[in-house]
Structure 1
Amino acid sequence: MGHHDSNLALPRFACPDWWERLCQGLPPMADVPINEEKAAKALAFFNRMRLPDIPGNPPMSVACGEWFKDVLVAFLASEDPETYQPVVWELLCMVPKKNSKSTYVAALALTALYMEDAPNRQMLLVGPSQNISERCFDQAQGMIRLDPILDSIFLVQDHLKTVTRRQTGTKLEVKTFDTSIVTGEIPVLTIIDELHELGKKARAAAVMQQIRGGGITKQRGRVLMITTQSDESPAGIWKIELDKARAIRDGRGGSNPIMLPVLYEFPAELQRSQDFWRARTNWHLVLPNLGLSIDEQALVDDYENNGRVTKHTEQIWASQHLNIEIGVGLSAGWLGAQYWDDCVEAGLSLDELIERSEVAVQGIDGGGLDDLFAEAVIGRCRETGRWLHWARAFAHPEVFEERKEIAPRLLNFAEHGDLIQLKDEDTSGDVRGVAETAARLLAAGLLPEQGAVGVDTTNSAAIQFQMFGKGITYEQLVVVGQDWRLSPAIWGMERMLKQGTFRHCGQPLMSWTVGNAKPEIKGSAVRITKEVAGKAKIDPLMATFNAFMLMLRDPVAAGPGAFEYTGM
Structure 2
Amino acid sequence: MLDLSCPDWFEKIKAGRSPLPDNLPLDVEEANAAIAVFEKLRLPDVPGKPLLRDAAGQWAKDFVGVIFGLVEMSEDREVVINRKVRRYFQLVPKKNSKTTNSAAIMLTALLRNRRPNASFLLVGPTQATAGLAYDQAEGMINSDPWLKKRFHTRDHIKTIQDRKTGATLEIKSFDNKVMTGQKPVGVLIDELHELGKIHYAQKVLAQIDGGILANPEGFVIIITTQSDEPPAGAFATELEHARSVRDGEHVGGETLPMLYEFPMSLQADEQKPWENPKVWPYVLPNLGRSITIERLLPKFKEAKAKGIETFSIWASQHLNVQIGIAINGTSWRGAQHWDGSVDTDLKDLDVLLSRSEVAVIGIDGGGLDDLLAVAVIGRCKFTRKWLLWTHAWCQRDVLELRKDIAPKLIDIEGCGELTFCDDTTTDIMGLADVCQRVNESGLLPQEAGIGVDPQGVAAIIDELSVRGMDKPQVVAVSQGFRLSPAVWGVERKVKDRTFIHGGQKLMTFCVGNAKAAQRGNAVVIEKQVSGKAKIDALIATLCGAMLMSRNPEASGTSVYESRGILMV
Contact 1:516 1:533 in 2 (8 A): no
Pair 558,296 (structure 1): closer, same or farther in 2 beyond 3 Å: same
SS of the counterpart of 2:120? strand
Say yes or no: does 1:334 pair with 2:332: yes
Matching residue within 23, 36, 53 for 2:14? 23
Partner of 2:341: 343
What amino acid maps onto 1:73 in structure 2?
G
- 1:249-305 Cα distance to aligned partner (Å, 9 max, x none): 3344434x4332211123333333344423322221221111111111122332222
1:200 aligned counterpart, secondary structure: coil
Structure 1 residues 72, 24: CA separation in 2 closer, same or farther (over 3 Å shift)?
A: same
Name the CA distance, whole Å, in 2 between partners of 1:437 and 1:33.
Answer: 52
1:157 offset after TM fit, Å? 1.4
Paired position in structure 2 for 1:391: 390
- Secondary structure of the corresponding residue to residue 404 of structure 1: coil
The one of 26, 46, 55 aligned to 1:63: 55
CA contact (8 A) 2:124 2:130 kept: yes
Q: Give the CA deviation at 1:556.
A: 4.2
The separation in 2 between residues aligned to 1:331 and 1:42, in whole angstroms, is: 42
Assess, with a 3 A threshold, how the Cα gap between structure 1 residues 123 and 364 changes in structure 2: closer, same or farther.
same
Letter in structure 1 aligned against 2:177: S
Are residues 1:318 and 2:315 paired? yes
CA–CA distance in 2 between the matches of 1:40 and 1:385?
61
Deviation at 1:402, TM superposition (A): 2.3
2:437 equivalent to 1:440: yes
Task: Give 1:376 shift.
Answer: 0.8
Q: Which moved more, 1:142-151 or 1:527-536?
A: 527-536
Question: Aligned-pair distance for 1:533?
Answer: 5.4
Matches within 5 A, 1:68-147: 68-80=60-72, 85-147=82-144
Identify the residue that residue 53 of structure 1 maps to in structure 2: 45
**In 2, Cα distance between the equivalents of 1:282 and 1:230?**
21
State TM-score, norm by structure 2.
0.89
How many Å separate the matches in 1 of 2:293 and 2:285? 12
CA contact (8 A) 1:213 1:220 kept: no
Letter aligned with residue 332 of structure 2: W
The runs of 4+ residues in structure 1 deviating greater than 6 Å are none
Question: How many angstroms apart in 1 are the aligned matches of 2:521 and 2:443?
Answer: 34
> SS in structure 1 opposite 2:486?
helix
User: Which stretch has the larger CA shift, 379-388 or 106-115?
Assistant: 379-388
**Residue of structure 1 in register with 2:452 after alignment:** 455
Whether the 8 Å contact between 1:91 and 1:260 is mirrored in structure 2 is yes
Q: Secondary structure at the match of 1:362?
A: strand
Q: Give SS of 2:72's match.
A: coil
SS of the residue corresponding to residue 414 of structure 2 reads helix
Q: CA deviation at 1:335?
A: 1.1
Q: Does 1:188 align with 2:185?
A: yes
For residues 270 and 531 of structure 1, do their structure 2 counterparts lie closer, same or farther at Cα, with a shift above 3 Å needed?
closer
Instruction: Determine whether 1:467 maps to 2:459.
Output: no
Instruction: Give 1:39 deviation, angstroms.
Output: 4.0
Partner AA of 2:382 in structure 1:
E
Q: Indicate how the Cα distance of structure 1 residues 308 and 144 shifts in structure 2: closer, same or farther if over 3 A, else same.
A: same
Contact 2:374-2:541 within 8 A present in 1 as well: yes
Q: The residue matched to 2:196 in structure 1 has which SS?
A: helix
Take 1:29 and 1:212, find their aligned partners in 2: how far apart are those partners?
23
* Other-structure match for 2:201: 204
- Residue 424 of structure 2 corresponds to which residue in structure 1? 427
Aligned in 2, Cα 1:132/1:298: closer, same or farther, shift over 3 Å? Answer: same
CA contact (8 A) 1:443 1:560 kept: no
Q: Is contact 2:364-2:456 (8 Å) kept?
A: no
Q: Does 1:371 align with 2:362?
A: no
CA contact (8 A) 1:369 1:396 kept: yes
Counterpart for residue 477 of structure 1: 474
- Aligned residue runs from structure 1 range 169-568, under 5 A: 169-213=166-210, 217=214, 219=216, 221-255=218-252, 257-273=253-269, 274-307=271-304, 309-327=306-324, 329-331=326-328, 333-348=331-346, 349-422=348-421, 424=422, 426-530=423-527, 532=529, 534-559=531-556
Q: Is the 8 A contact 2:212 2:218 kept in 1?
A: no
Contact 1:519-1:527 within 8 A present in 2 as well: yes
CA deviation after TM superposition for structure 1 residue 230, in Å: 1.9
Q: What pairs with 1:37-52 in structure 2 (closer than 5 Å)? A: 37-52=29-44
C-alpha RMSD over aligned residues: 2.7
Count of residue pairs the alignment pairs up:
549
- SS in structure 1 at match of 2:153: strand
- Residues in 1 aligned to 2:239 and 2:260: alpha-carbon distance in whole angstroms: 12
Which stretch shifts more, 460-469 or 489-498? 489-498
- Native 8 Å contact 2:363 2:453 kept in 1: yes
* C-alpha separation in 1, matches of 2:529 and 2:30: 54
Equivalent AA in structure 2 for residue 122 of structure 1: S
Deviations 1:460-502 (A, max 9, x none): 3211210110111233333322223322222222122122222
Give the partner amino acid of 1:243.
E
Contact 1:442 1:560 in 2 (8 A): no
Write the distance in 2 (CA, Å) between the matches of 1:111 and 1:448: 68
Displacement of 1:459 in angstroms is 4.7
Q: Distance in 2 between matches of 1:378 and 1:87?
A: 47
**Native 8 Å contact 2:513 2:528 kept in 1:** no
Question: Could you tell which deviates more after superposition, 217-226 or 541-550?
Answer: 217-226
TM-score between both structures, scaled by the size of structure 1: 0.89
Task: Specify every segment of 5 or more residues in structure 1 that has no aligned partner in the other structure, as ranges.
Answer: 1-9, 562-568
1:50 CA drift (Å): 2.6
CA distance in structure 2 between the aligned counterparts of 1:334 and 1:54, rounded to whole angstroms? 46
Does the residue aligned with 1:529 lie in a helix, a strand or coil?
strand
**1:517-542 CA distances to partner (integer Å, 9 max, x unpaired)?**
12222332322234855332211111
Give the distance between the partners of 1:24 and 1:531, measured in 2 at CA. 36
Give the letter for the 1:110 counterpart.
Answer: L
After superposition, the Cα gap between the structure-2 partners of 1:109 and 1:352, relative to the gap in structure 1 and judged at 3 Å, is closer
Kindly provide the CA deviation profile for residues 73-94 of structure 1, in whole angstroms up to 9, marking residues without a partner as x. 2212433368764433221111
Q: Greater shift after overlay, 44-53 or 528-537?
A: 528-537
Determine the C-alpha separation between the residues in 2 that align with 1:299 and 1:230: 19
Task: For residues 121-167 of structure 1, give each alpha carbon's deviation from its aligned partner in whole angstroms, at most 9, with x where no partner exists.
Answer: 22111011222112111222222233333222222211111111222
- Secondary structure at the aligned position of 1:245 is classed as helix
